[in-house]
Chain A
């Protein structure tokens, strides 16, 4: 074993430290009083900083050195969690490029989101609770990333779900937030059933949930042989398991048709949205698919990869169309996240593991940037989220404007910003795999450029429309709790809110260079998957992606930039052109209404049916029996009771009742008194047992 390999081994054994610090921070903060605001924020940020340093150290160690260019630097550390009879449940941590890159991204982006959150939440009275949940969120996501065991991964996966539930519903007193938190939890739960079935099947057929182990019997190391066995629905066994796992990823990463929870997750505070949309939660699904990629590709004949690609492709286009017609600044970004996640899944399905993961990383930076930017806008405009009542913010919030512009250009895929290179990789991978999917994805890229331009002009262009009265009944956001401030002019935010924007912008500009084919032959590809051949470059893809990006921005300028909105009540210029279609898009293709009409109604109908059965059949039987016995007892009453017993017993009964009344005093109805007597009795019994 070489020195380098040994070093990796040591680091892998210390991987648990990365999620450990935020976890401890969360534990401490759960005990802090509400007033310990400064301490709480300091703890969270310090812990995250530690994680970030550790992740950076691990990342540094996985960078390719010297001669070993052709194999992945992978080290793992397994240990027995507990033994159950002859079966041992193993836990383990892994250190490989996939984990290291992801962990560094989560810790780094998370760190800056936390810094921003200190500003955004500055006026909230439950500040400590918020930071406690944030720490736990980061800890569970980091745990998910470093796990070398599917069970550990699943536990962290569920913890991530729990934290998102807690944070989406952080303002639980708002009914919409309470509904959104339930929706997020239940929708992802639908996917998790599939994930769990996949885990059980994997355990059944491989006998282990450890992904890699030194003996080569880990679940992923057996993927090849699983690919030879027959599974369900014409898939190989590996394909079936992969499909089940993918259903879990669909829930977590908000893929169509389980995407409905993500836009509603906007009800949480904006830093939470940034965290959910960039570093944690939705990234988990894409990461998991990347982690289990060996199962997806185990049998080349399986349709599971095509399924992944098409789901991703549909999501990418579908969500992009919805984003065009939204008015809430965060909702536009939410649907764009859906769409970008679709891009990632599509890349994975087209076999582009590197492209998908690279887009996951770059997207995390610029989407965190955009969300934090929208948070700054919301704070700067005194809790306004409706883009129609913004405008002209470029003048009032220059720093936010420039950072937001960088994020927007990165998302729209303008060279040389980060999003261009990663999206380009995805389009290249798809182009080689399936031409139709590539065309649809290019259309989605066009829409991306368009709706981001629309947002830029509505929020930052034109003049400030905030002070005007809004007579527009069409979906106004209900978040404005500070009506008294609404007439004030917007202002730039404090340094702890804009500093993260600046830092993330730097990455949004330069990070893409790591994955370009023109610089040292795609550094990121060599880092993540040196054993795979890099996809061949296709000029038509690059040219077309630049053209549609430019066209989208140009169209956005033509419609929204040339003549900015003058008044908040003015209808969207697009609404006139698209007519009814605009309403359909604004109402998100009526998917929520469809679910309401089908699944929710069906469940309610089933409940009503069971209630009717209960009333008619079960109660009917009970009442019939009761009537029969009542009749029988009447018979006995006439024959026996009235004649024989009543004569002499009444007096006796009276005395028994008196005794009963006396004893009834003991039954004071207080459970704890009974318990006390019981405990006393137990003590007496023990005493008798010992001192007899």
Chain B
């Protein structure tokens, strides 16, 4: 049996595991982007279509420290980081941490709206689908879930923009400020694909539970089916659903590169794509670290919520000790 003490110990242990992952990931991303050839100076030159002399090019690189050996660059970066300085963007010249923080609210907002919409769509429809298994409503819902699950999101974005933005004029095309009107189309785009996926998972989970013996037992004892459904099935299904949601929140917090770019939603994902295109190493590093932190946190929260929701489950990683 676990006590509060071991739960805390477990949490600390998991957070400590983040450190080597952060090291390895930032090093690898640094190495890979560095090996990838062209750098930010050349990218800028290319974008403006103008030419600078080799001497100017070298001077610009030297100014950014790009002329130094790769390891020196990484260690310099790491050293600055340990002193709380994430550097400045090679492209805009602005502080990386400030830039990153300024992009975060947009991504958080989009994450919340699309998760809420996904939950509202997928849980009820998933339950309907499971309860009416292989009946009309099941096929009807699953048909649309297949469609939603089989269309690339850039395609969904364009179609939504065309129908909701141009034909019906419901929403603005460009998401200017953080209002529900602006966030509607990116939210719907993301929710369509996620709902389609999670609807199937909810259906499976509920079917799993419905197929278990205790349901039969409850039926035999004359317990009302709706009571069983809400009290037992939902409670048991919650573990799976929470895991799924945690994973989705994680991937959404990392920014949805394509959707954010298409809708000009000024979030973390768009920032990452722009930074990668420009080889803006300091921003890429911030993004990679953010992704790693999300990953570890989401896993930790999932594990902990398992433990809280279902005391029978032992925490992964503790069974080896």
Q: Do A and B form a real pair?
A: no
Q: Which residues of A contact B (CB under 8 A)?
A: none
Q: Which residues of B contact A (CB under 8 A)?
A: none
